[in-house]
């Protein structure tokens, strides 16, 4: 169990009335139920513990390295993480952990584990059960990076935070849940991915290139703003968050700036602003124009996952043509085929 911080382990600081992280032993004291499983649970606590709004790619690199170093010692890993950036971290780890054949289950909570109505206990206990579950052949049931939250197990790189208030804080709109917890935990074995080779050794890819900007297209967008996001020297790739099935304004200046960025060899990916559904640039003339200008379809990927995929692919190669060629591939179940 790897504790990085987040609401699940926070306590009210009586001095300034804000939530601050407390230490891991106190979390375990709150969940004696874990002792009822015949499991050995070791814990690793990050220092400092953070609110996940402070997550940086360096945390993903530390997490990947920790999991790689301890990989052979455990059947599975549970990562306690704040909800705000959990979908980003789970997406990143899904790409960085190559040949994964054990569960890595992210969880957290909306209410701290010490408060009476907390959702943290159920999330934590079920995440542990899932991380240790095996099939009759002795293989892990869920050898994927996933998020467990409010009875749903979701693929990490398909999940997104949808509520700052409800216990059901995460959804996976374009991919069915990997499991649902009721009286029993029902695994959706048709959706869960299996490694090509169970015995392949885990490899990690920790080199990440973060030179990505995200532009949410909106009515009233100006050429100045657009050029800033697409053509700046500081940017190697751009996620264009477009309307509906991948549509954007058809004005000539808009297309010209996209072409200008494509001419500068920027990697441009089209992701929909909609919570569910896919980009299909062949559907409308406005989408077609983007495709012609050199924008790659992100299909039904989430923005969090597109960002992590770009960091990962660009970290692997300085060649933008190679990155563009791999971007449409389904690497870790992050897009539907």
Tokens of 302: 């989430």
39 to 78: interface string for ligand ASP, x by CB under 6 A:
------------xxx-------------------------
Closer residue to ligand ASP (CB): 62 or 99: 62
Residues 106-125 that bind ligand ASP (CB under 6 A): 108, 110
Closer residue to ligand ASP (CB): 108 or 143: 108
3 to 22: interface string for ligand ASP, x by CB under 6 A:
--xxx---------------
The residue of the chain with the least Cβ separation from ligand ASP equals 82
Question: Site size for ligand ASP, by CB under 6 A?
Answer: 11
C-alpha triplet 109, 36, 19: angle, nearest 5°:
25
Sign of CA dihedral 245, 251, 257, 260: positive
**Has 7 been annotated as catalytic?**
yes
Compute the distance between CA of residue 212 and CA of residue 209 in angstroms, rounded to an integer. Answer: 8
Residues 6+ apart with CB under 8 A from 8: 27, 80, 82, 107, 108, 109, 112, 113, 120, 123, 124
Are the C-beta atoms of 39 and 132 separated by less than 8 Å? Answer: yes
Least distance CB 166 / ligand ASP (angstroms): 12
84 belongs to the binding site for ligand ASP (CB under 6 A): yes
| Selected catalytic residue, list 7, 83, 272, 286 | 7
Structure-derived torsion over alpha carbons of residues 219, 294, 174, 149, reported in degrees to the nearest 10: -80
The contact set with ligand ASP (CB under 6 A) reads 5-7, 51-53, 82-84, 108, 110
Catalytic residues: 7
């Amino acid at each position: 169990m790897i504790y990085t911080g987040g609401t699940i382990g926070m306590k009210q600081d009586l001095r300034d009335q804000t939530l601050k992280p407390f230490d891991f032993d106190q979390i375990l004291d709150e969940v004696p139920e874990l002792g009822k499983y015949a499991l050995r649970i070791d814990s690793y606590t990050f220092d400092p513990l953070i609110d996940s709004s402070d997550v940086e790619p360096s945390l993903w690199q530390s997490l990947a390295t920790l999991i790689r170093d301890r990989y052979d010692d455990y059947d599975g890993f549970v990562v306690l993480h704040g909800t705000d950036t959990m979908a980003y971290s789970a997406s990143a780890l899904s790409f960085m952990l190559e040949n994964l054949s054990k569960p890595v289950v992210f969880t957290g909570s909306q209410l701290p584990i010490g408060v009476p109505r907390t959702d943290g206990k159920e999330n934590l206990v079920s995440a542990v059960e899932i991380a240790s579950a095996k099939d009759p052949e002795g293989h892990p049931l869920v050898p994927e990076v996933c998020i467990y939250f409010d009875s749903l197990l979701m693929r990490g790189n398909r999940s997104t935070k949808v509520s700052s208030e409800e216990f059901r804080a995460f959804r996976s709109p374009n991919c069915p849940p990997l499991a649902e917890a009721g009286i029993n935990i029902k695994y959706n074995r048709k959706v869960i991915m299996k490694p090509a080779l169970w015995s392949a050794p885990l490899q990690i890819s920790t080199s990440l290139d973060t030179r990505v900007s995200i532009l949410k297209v909106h009515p009233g967008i100006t050429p100045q703003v657009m050029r800033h996001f697409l053509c700046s020297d500081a940017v190697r790739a751009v996620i264009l968050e477009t309307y509906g099935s991948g549509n954007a304004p058809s004005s000539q200046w808009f297309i010209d700036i996209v072409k200008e960025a494509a001419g500068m060899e920027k990697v441009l990916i089209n992701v929909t602003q909609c919570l569910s559904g896919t980009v299909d640039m062949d559907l409308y003339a406005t989408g077609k124009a983007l495709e012609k200008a050199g924008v790659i379809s992100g299909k039904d990927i989430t923005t969090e996952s597109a960002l992590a995929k770009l960091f990962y692919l660009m970290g692997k190669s300085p060649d933008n043509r190679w990155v563009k060629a791999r971007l449409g591939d389904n690497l870790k179940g992050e897009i539907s085929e």
